[in-house]
């Protein structure tokens, strides 16, 4: 787990939060799970897919995730609208890292997020979930990102643990 500050294209500071987990499946299998938002409610707690992502994923797809207690029973939660901006499939044979990157469009969170899937060997890969997200609003971006980071880190850690367990069961 890391949290580091980098800069965006305009030179503004960006807080990057990332959590990584070694999973016991080939990179293309893990990539299929993290790149497709339709699978996210299976391993990200308290989350549902509310719009978009009927098939896919494809660059340009817009979708909405809702997160919070009770959202799977129809309650309201934090609305996170996103657009897929990058999809690169991994290759174990060539060592190419797979990447999916989305742009967060609000109304609560803005910024970028994604997954990198790093092939290790024919039966393992490292999944890195990273977020450069911050709260929308009148606060300075760095302050808003700092307020968001602990929640993001916790949900990312729990979620990747759940993904690991689900994929480990599938690989037996």
Neighbouring C-beta atoms of residue 19, cutoff 10 Å: 22
What secondary structure does DSSP assign to the chain, as a single string? -EEEEEE-TTS-EEEEEEEEEEESS-HHHHHHHHH-GGGHHHHSTTEEEEEE-SS---TT-EEEEEESTTGGGT---EEEEEEEEEEE--BTTTTBPEEEEEEEEEESEEEEEEEEEEEEETTEEEEEEEEEEEE-SSS-HHHHHHHHHHHHHHHHHHHHHHHHHHHHHHH-
Domain ranges of the chain: 2-171
Q: What is the pLDDT of residue 13?
A: 65
Which residues of the chain carry a pLDDT beneath 70?
Answer: 1-13, 53, 172
Q: What is the pLDDT of residue 131?
A: 95
CATH assignment of 2-171?
Answer: 3.30.530.20
Q: What is the pLDDT of residue 11?
A: 61
User: Which residue pairs, CB below 8 angstroms and at least 24 apart, start in 96-105?
Assistant: 98/27, 98/28, 98/31, 98/35, 100/31, 100/34, 100/35, 100/57, 104/80, 104/133, 105/62, 105/81
Q: What is the pLDDT of residue 21?
A: 97
pTM: 0.89
93: which residues sit within 8 A by CB, 6+ positions away? none
Q: What is the pLDDT of residue 135?
A: 87
Q: What is the pLDDT of residue 105?
A: 96
Q: Is the peptide bond before 107 cis (omega within 30 degrees of 0)?
A: yes
Q: What is the pLDDT of residue 142?
A: 81
């Amino acid at each position: 787990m890391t949290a580091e500050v980098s800069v965006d294209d305009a030179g503004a500071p960006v807080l990057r939060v990332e959590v990584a987990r070694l999973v016991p499946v080939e990179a293309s299998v893990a990539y299929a799970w993290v790149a497709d938002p339709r699978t996210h409610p299976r391993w990200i707690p308290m989350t549902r897919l509310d719009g978009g992502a009927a098939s896919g994923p494809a660059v340009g797809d817009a979708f909405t995730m809702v997160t919070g207690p009770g959202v799977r029973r129809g309650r309201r939660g934090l609305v996170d609208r996103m657009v897929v901006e990058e999809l690169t499939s991994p290759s174990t044979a060539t060592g190419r890292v797979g990447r999916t990157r989305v742009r967060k469009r609000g109304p609560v969170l803005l910024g970028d997020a994604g997954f990198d899937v790093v092939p290790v060997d024919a039966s393992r890969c490292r999944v890195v979930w990273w977020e450069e997200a911050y709260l929308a609003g009148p606060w300075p971006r760095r302050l808003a990102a700092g307020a968001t980071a602990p929640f993001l880190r916790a949900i990312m850690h729990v979620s990747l643990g759940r993904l690991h367990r689900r994929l480990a069961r599938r690989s037996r």
